[in-house]
Structure 1
Amino acid sequence: MIKTTQDRIEEIKKNGYTLDFGNVFNHAFENYKKIALYGGLMIFVIFVLLSIFAFGVLIAIFGGTAVVDFLKPENLKPEEFSLNTLLIFSGISILISCLISPLTAALIKMAYCAERDEEFHISTMFEYYKAPYFKEIFIATFVISIISSISSTVINYTQIPVISFVVTVIIELFTILMIPLIIFGKLKAIEALEASILIVSKQPLILLGLIVVGSIGTLVGLIGCCIGIVFTLPFLNSLYYAIYSEIIGFDPETEIENRN
Structure 2
Amino acid sequence: MQEMNETKKYLSLEETIDDAFQIWKKTALMGGLAFLFLILILTALVSVGMGYFFNAKELPELIKDFNPEILSSNALLIYFGIVIGFTVLISPFVAGMLKMAYDADNGKEVTFSSIYHYVNSPKFLDIILATATISLFSVLLDNLIKNMLPNTLGEILGFMVSYAISILTFIAIPLVLFKNLNFIDALKLSCSRILNNFFPVLLLMIIAGIFSIIGIIAFCIGLFFTIPFAYAMQYSIYKRLG
Normalising by structure 2, what TM-score? 0.91
Residue aligning to 1:49? 41
Task: Give how far 1:57 is off.
Answer: 1.7
Residue aligning to 1:155? 145
Which residue among 206, 212, 235 is the counterpart of 1:218? 212
Residue aligning to 1:30? 22
Task: Give how far 1:224 is off.
Answer: 5.3
The reply to whether residue 99 of structure 1 matches residue 89 of structure 2 is yes
Task: Give how far 1:88 is off.
Answer: 1.3
Inter-partner Cα distance in structure 1 for 2:91 and 2:236: 19
Task: Give how far 1:53 is off.
Answer: 1.1
The reply to whether residue 10 of structure 1 matches residue 10 of structure 2 is no
Inter-partner Cα distance in structure 2 for 1:15 and 1:31: 26
Inter-partner Cα distance in structure 2 for 1:187 and 1:168: 24
Inter-partner Cα distance in structure 2 for 1:208 and 1:148: 17
CA distances 1:48-102 after superposition (whole Å, capped 9, x unpaired): 111111111221233323433322x2x2123332222222111011001011011
Which residue among 115, 128, 137 is the counterpart of 1:138? 128
Q: Over the residues paired in the alignment, what is the CA RMSD in angstroms? A: 1.8
Which ranges of 4 or more aligned residues in structure 1 deviate by more than 6 Å? none
Residue aligning to 1:175? 169
Pick which of 190-199 and 158-167 moved more: 158-167
Inter-partner Cα distance in structure 2 for 1:69 and 1:18: 49
Residue aligning to 2:51? 59
Residue type of the partner of 1:245?
K
The reply to whether residue 235 of structure 1 matches residue 235 of structure 2 is no
Task: Give how far 1:31 is off.
Answer: 0.8
CA distances 1:211-231 after superposition (whole Å, capped 9, x unpaired): 122222222223353333222
Residue aligning to 1:124? 114
Residue aligning to 1:258? none
The reply to whether residue 40 of structure 1 matches residue 32 of structure 2 is yes
Q: Are the aligned partners of 2:91 and 2:128 in contact in 1 as well (CA < 8 Å)?
A: yes
Task: Give how far 1:15 is off.
Answer: 4.4
The reply to whether residue 69 of structure 1 matches residue 58 of structure 2 is no
Identity among equivalent pairs (%): 31
CA distances 1:107-138 after superposition (whole Å, capped 9, x unpaired): 11101111233223333211111231110010
Inter-partner Cα distance in structure 2 for 1:203 and 1:63: 49
Unaligned residue ranges in structure 1 (runs of 5+): 1-5, 249-260
Residue aligning to 1:255? none
Aligned length: 238
Residue type of the partner of 2:99?
K
Q: Are the aligned partners of 2:194 and 2:241 in contact in 1 as well (CA < 8 Å)?
A: no
Inter-partner Cα distance in structure 1 for 2:29 and 2:176: 26
Task: Give how far 1:205 is off.
Answer: 2.0
Residue type of the partner of 1:218?
S
Residue aligning to 1:19? 11
Unaligned residue ranges in structure 2 (runs of 5+): none
CA distances 1:138-184 after superposition (whole Å, capped 9, x unpaired): 01111111111111211223222221221122111101110000000
Inter-partner Cα distance in structure 2 for 1:147 and 1:14: 25
Inter-partner Cα distance in structure 2 for 1:216 and 1:163: 23
